[in-house]
Chains A and B, each alone.
Chain A
Amino acid sequence: MRSHFTIIAALAILATLAPAPAAAQEAGDLETVLPDTIPLDTTPPAPVTGLTVRDYVDNDDDGTKIELAWTPSPDDGAGAADVLAYHVWRSTTAGVVGDSVGVAGAGSATFLDETAVPGTDYHYGVTAFDGTSHSAPATAGPVRGVRNWFAVSRTAVLVLAVVFFALVLAFTQLAERGAELFVRRIPGLNAIEEAVGRATEMGRPVLYVPGIGEIDNIMTIASLTILSHVAKITARYETPLIVPTARAVVMSAAEEVVKEAYAEAGHPDSYNRDNIRYLSDAQFAFAGAVNGIMLREKPAANLYLGAFWAESLLLAETGFEAGAIQVAGTAMVSQLPFFVTACDYTLLGEELYAASAYLSREPKLLGGLKGSDWMKVVTIALVVLGIILNAVGVESFAEWFHTS
């Protein structure tokens, strides 16, 4: 069987190298593409009939497949019984045979061209080949491959995306209408309050670093919400609050937040503008300057909440050596290990957003938090269901999530 295919393939290659069938001269439309040398004097096989072409459609049709079907040559397996293969030709111009796109073995009546460019009109020709010469071509066309509008194998993406967006939007709506949405208190918030309390007891300042992210960074925004909360406590206890920043816009935003918080707490006079500082845009220069503050002004509580990169360990380590209570929080997963090792308490990833939503009760933040919360429930349910179905031998469920 295998050797049979090898012969056909070899012949096919030979044929494409120098196919110059005598019959081609008679089939006038081949003249344009084939050289007019005359090879062996043989009779070509009878041509195929009834060639049809159509755009092949399957679940994830990307428009590159065209299906051909024909009635085999009378000389295939009967008559002269000398047909070895069918050659498929493709051209963008009617009446021109064009390029070879493939070969189908004797006895076959279909061929799938998977190399079409979507949206291009093609004309196809099929010739029967006996090893030395081609039959006159049967032609059909034009036909074009059309992309599907919907990739069926990715239904899972659509379903889950719709569920997720619906959850977020629904919870946001609920929050805007003033519904009481429960969010559990994050233990990290207690840790922050304890740290500020300790600083008050010791009569030393609190250092609040809102990260080095820009103001459009969602972590920076979450951090400013928490800053407002912290500022209210320091205002009440009249503990100095130092906020070093690495971005000018973040500095002005922090100024607003702290000033407002002091006013709300009823101590607008305690607000000290000089304590909200812009240090440097350069990452390590900023880290160096903050370290300087830690060593000189000896804050008793260091709070690092926001977006941090490689400066995380430099800050947390210096603070640790200076003996301050440290609480950190970031969604930069790669920096979490350093904060966890060097700080007393760390808000991990999403906890930062949760803390911010818990404190601010801002509908958009709450909606996002509650939506992703229930998405987790959906995920857990799907995983558990998948495992159970897997155990009883139903694999198609898990495979539904296989999207590539």
Chain B
Amino acid sequence: MSWYDWLLGIDRRWIFLTIAIAVVIPFFAPLGLPVVVTPPVQNLYDAVEALEPDGKPLLLSIDYTPATSPELEPMSSGVLRHAFRKDIPVIVMTLHPAGYGMAESAILAAAEEFGKEYGEDYVFLGFQPGTSAVILGLGVNIRTVFPEDAYGTPLSELPVMEGIRNYDDVSLLITFAGWSAAEAWIYYAHQPSGQIVGAGVTAVMATDYYPYLDAGQLVGLLGGMRGAAEYERLIDRPDAGARGMDSQSVIHLIIILLIVLGNAAYFASRRARRLAQARGEI
């Protein structure tokens, strides 16, 4: 058997095993590869950095589900920590029923870390179904969409919600989503109301969002775990994003190697077949 036939016919489980080993090793022997900050991430960081302490609140829509949380949870934690460190009031909500638990755990962890008080410094509005209708409704009156917070307290009893009526009273809006919710925020919050929107999306979605960045419809963009790692570097608080980047880099190298080998084997086998055809063997 020639090398290319062997390579093209290899049991894929060997590749799974290689990848698994390559993921695990950097957890125990970190390589500390550098993370370079890209402009879209820097822009989002700058937008949060420019907010006034105790000024208009930051609205975070934590729209991801457990399925995409490894990519998006480090982003939401990074932004929450950044906001709390700067004493910016935070309103958290979600457009996905499975985002409820994700949002709650992210905000509780960050609030505990910075000693923030519920109702005074931050609030969790919970979930409402209807994506576009919810986003449009928030532009008119937040109380008609969320009559009460996630725990049944009327918004009028929460100090952080005082004087908050619609997007005019919110400084910046950031969505973290592994589905089209991020696009919906651009359509229904940015376009009609001019609300400044930033987004954290999975790497799969990232390429689709560059046109919005280019047209100024997004103030900044975090794409995938790498975006999270860059944000963690900017706030100088490495965590889950940075931790995964070593494994990520190693695996990318392996995959590039596999692509090159795979292509070489493919062309070699095609060439061998053509030669055989020319000799009249097939």
Query: Do A and B touch directly, given a CB cutoff of 8 Å in the complex?
Result: yes
Q: Which residues of A contact B (CB under 8 A)?
A: 64, 333-334, 403-404
- Residues of B close to A64: CB separation below 8 A: 168
Question: Nearest-CB distance from A114 to chain B (Å)?
Answer: 9
Question: Nearest-CB distance from B214 to chain A (Å)?
Answer: 14
Q: Are B194 and A404 in contact (CB under 8 A)?
A: yes
Question: Nearest-CB distance from B195 to chain A (Å)?
Answer: 9
Interface residues in B197-239 (C-beta closer than 8 Å to A)? 204-205, 208, 217
- Which one, B191, B193, B194, B204, contacts A334 given CB within 8 A? B204
Q: With an 8 A cutoff between CB atoms, is B190 at the interface?
A: yes
Q: How far apart are the CA atoms of A64 and B169 in the complex, in Å?
A: 13
Query: Interface SS of chain B: helix, strand, loop or mixed?
Result: helix
Interface residues in B103-126 (C-beta closer than 8 Å to A)? none
Q: How far apart are the CA atoms of A404 and B196 in the complex, in Å?
A: 10
- Residues of B close to A334: CB separation below 8 A: 204-205, 208
Q: How far apart are the CA atoms of A292 and B38 in the complex, in Å?
A: 45
Given contacts A334-B205, A404-B190, 10 further A-B pairs with CB under 8 A are A64-B168, A333-B208, A334-B204, A334-B208, A403-B191, A404-B191, A404-B192, A404-B193, A404-B194, A404-B217
- Residues of A close to B204: CB separation below 8 A: 334
- Residues of B close to A404: CB separation below 8 A: 190-194, 217
Q: Hey, what's the 0/1 contact readout for B167-192 against A, CB within 8 Å counting as 1?
A: 01000000000000000000000111
12 A-B residue pairings within 8 Å (CB atoms): A64-B168, A333-B208, A334-B204, A334-B205, A334-B208, A403-B191, A404-B190, A404-B191, A404-B192, A404-B193, A404-B194, A404-B217
- Residues of A close to B194: CB separation below 8 A: 404
Interface pairs A-B: 8 shortest CB-CB = A404-B194, A404-B191, A404-B190, A334-B204, A403-B191, A333-B208, A334-B208, A404-B192
Question: Nearest-CB distance from A138 to chain B (Å)?
Answer: 27
Q: How far apart are the CA atoms of A404 and B193 in the complex, in Å?
A: 7
Q: How far apart are the CA atoms of A403 and B193 in the complex, in Å?
A: 10
A64, closest chain B residue (CB): B168
A60, closest chain B residue (CB): B194
Question: Nearest-CB distance from A134 to chain B (Å)?
Answer: 25
Question: Nearest-CB distance from B255 to chain A (Å)?
Answer: 13
- Residues of A close to B192: CB separation below 8 A: 404
